[in-house]
Amino acid sequence: MNLRFTEEQEMMRKMVRDFAEKEIAPFVERMEKGEFPREVLRKMGELGLMGIPVPEKYGGAEMDFVSYIIAINEISRVSATVGVILSVHTSVGTNPILYFGSDEQKQRFLPKLASGEYLAAFCLTEAGSGSDAKSMKSRAVKKDDHYVINGSKMFITNGGEADVYIVFASTNPELGSKGISAFIVEKNSPGLVIGKDEHKMGLHGSRTVQLSFEDMRVPVENLLGQEGEGFKIAMANLDVGRIGIAAQALGIAEAALGAAVEYAKERQQFGKPIAAQQGIGFKLADMATNVEAARLLLYRASDLRAQGMKCGMEASIAKLFASKTAVETATEAIQVFGGYGYTEDYPVERYFRDAKVTEIYEGTSEIQRIVISKYL
Ligand code: CAA
């Protein structure tokens, strides 16, 4: 097992780190005030970051999966907001079309998604169906050359900003999960209504909205895969999506550890830097150990995926551990900063607020344990 990045992956890491520090960091304050980072995404599109796994023939960068994960990891060290926008756009927004779309759908949507001209969203969750995703109530009924979709969705990342929505609705409720179908819905579809903008604890620059479908008309050619294949499409893409969220969580944990180490070396109490006080030194050591373990689990799952091997269990293990590490490391970083850590003058309170949701979205930690235990 190779535990080093290839030369190409290392170049990707350096390029993205540089971009994040120069182009994303100056935008963080505006995102914290709720501004969506359109300008940042445009520049990411120019660099090929909005279509990392998309083949060159569709205008993508056609890079390996590990490089994609490196990009989310590096971006999230600076901004978990931009990290989740990229992860949702790619893992669960673009990939369903890449892996399950018809040639015509790929040609129509992938070049625009890969260039960043289009942003994508993934619409699975509903008010009454979060973890129990297959109990969704949205319904799609075929009528001549289109489907009529009615229902609503909740907590849709990139919602309201996206141009393309991957929407799941049941075409045959009697069949349960096998009656769920997936649709590519364009933002100007009649009947697509953007609802409440959620005010979240963290990720302030990322938009999270409710959506409703009021006799929304979707042309039959926008059915993704076959009727009844939707749940499988959702689950298969979430397997990969969860590695992306693990990368986001690791980025937050790395940032929190880095900030805590720097501060502990500077801050003097009892006549020496607090890093030299064992209570703080041991804390930093535990944080670093967890971060390193999360990193190995993340890149192990990514490597399996890059080799085209099964990685569902490893993806869930990586997400479970990396998200727990993000929350714990950010919490401990605030403790190292003491009173200063509780203020908005330092970034650790943002890391803490951004970290929490990594234990919730793309499958809660409890759902990851269900997935892992099913594999066992
Ligand atoms: N790949 C392919 N197919 C899969 C699959 C996978 N990983 N997992 C399950 N399936 C298939 C099963 O094989 C089964 O088909 P068969 O009957 O033919 O075998 C079918 O799907 C139903 O499977 P289960 O009976 O196992 O389904 P379940 O109801 O017990 O649920 C679950 C499984 C893992 C709990 C699933 O419901 C789940 O993942 N829930 C969490 C939902 C989630 O992650 N939501 C995230 C929303 S997106 C988001 O958060 C984005 C964002 O904003 C950042």
Q: Which residues are catalytic?
A: 362
Q: Whose CA is nearest to atom 12 of ligand 1?
A: 232
Cβ 134 under 6 angstroms from ligand 1: yes
What is the C-alpha separation between 246 and 248, in angstroms, rounded? 5
What is the C-alpha separation between 183 and 221, in angstroms, rounded? 9
Q: What is the Å distance from ligand 1's center to 53 Cα?
A: 23
pTM confidence score: 0.97
Mean pLDDT of successive 10-residue stretches along the chain, which has 376 residues:
90 98 98 97 98 98 97 98 98 98 98 98 98 98 97 98 98 98 97 97 98 98 98 95 98 98 98 98 98 98 96 97 98 98 98 98 98 98
Q: Whose CA is nearest to atom 46 of ligand 1?
A: 362
- Give the per-residue pLDDT at 314: 98
User: φ, ψ for residue 42 (rounded to 5)?
Assistant: -65, -45
Which of the listed residues 99, 235, 311, 376 should we mutate to test ligand 1's pocket, taking the one with most ligand atoms within 8 A of CB? Answer: 235
- Give the per-residue pLDDT at 2: 74
- Give the per-residue pLDDT at 141: 98
- pLDDT tens, position by position, 201-246: 999 999 999 999 999 999 999 999 999 999 999 999 999 999 999 9
Cβ 125 under 6 angstroms from ligand 1: yes
Q: What is the Å distance from ligand 1's center to 79 Cα?
A: 29
Ligand 1 atom showing the smallest separation from residue 87 Cα: 54
Which of the listed residues 89, 125, 165, 232 should we mutate to test ligand 1's pocket, taking the one with most ligand atoms within 8 A of CB? Answer: 232
